[in-house]
Amino acid sequence: MPRYISVILIIVFCSKALTLSCYNYTALYNCTASSQAGCSTINCDSKCGLVGIYNNGKKVFTNRTCVSPGSCVNSSFNLGVVKLAFNAQCCGADLCNNQDLPETLQKQSYNGKRCYTCNVTDCSKILDCEGDENQCISVSYVWINNTITYKGCASSCDTSNILTSMYRVQCCTGDLCNDAQDTTQSLVLLLAPLLYILMI
């Protein structure tokens, strides 16, 4: 009987020792409300995370929560009508995700890569990629029996992970590899579901 008690005590103390406490809140347009939340880890790989989303260089969304180390990647994609950048920072100490992210991101220089982008219904426009955007991206979904498509530049296909639950995402590495096509598009229809996913 004492052995079982020892095992139970070890499990209880170890699980408490492996618990990482992180701030856990979402702030749209720089809201400052915060709350503290406990975050338990199974394999000790979990981290506290701070993710900022920038639209055309200005911060529009901040999320503080527990994340996997693989999520700590800065990335961006530029669809011509909108350029979204993800600034992710991770740390491994209690409540370490309390720092602030910059309000604006520095403009990146053109890197020589070119991809097709869409302008209303014409997807034959050419977009000059910036910074580490080394792939062309096509994002599409069906809305009321119409296929809505966006094209542009991306830092990697990992950039699009947040989109894949609602959108069909394709990436390619060649210059102008995301073929030009005529299509229907609406910026509101793209951003509304994206922001909904981010707030969950």
Which one is predicted more confidently, 17 or 92?
92
pLDDT at residue 46 in the model: 77
pLDDT at residue 193 in the model: 47
Helices (H), the chain: 2-17, 187-199
pLDDT at residue 181 in the model: 59
This prediction's pTM: 0.66
Which one is predicted more confidently, 127 or 28?
127
Which one is predicted more confidently, 122 or 121?
122
User: What whole-number distance in Å separates Cα of residue 45 and Cα of residue 38?
Assistant: 15
Which one is predicted more confidently, 42 or 125?
125
CATH number of 110-199: 2.10.60.10
Closest CA to 84 of 174, 162, 178: 162
Q: What is the pLDDT of residues 14-53, one digit of tens each?
A: 344 457 778 777 665 443 444 444 443 333 357 888 888 8
Segments making up each domain of the chain, as ranges: 110-199
User: What whole-number distance in Å separates Cα of residue 167 and Cα of residue 194?
Assistant: 10
Q: Which amino acid is at 198?
A: L
Give the CA dihedral 149, 27, 73, 42, nearest 10 degrees.
-120
Closest CA to 181 of 141, 97, 121, 96: 121
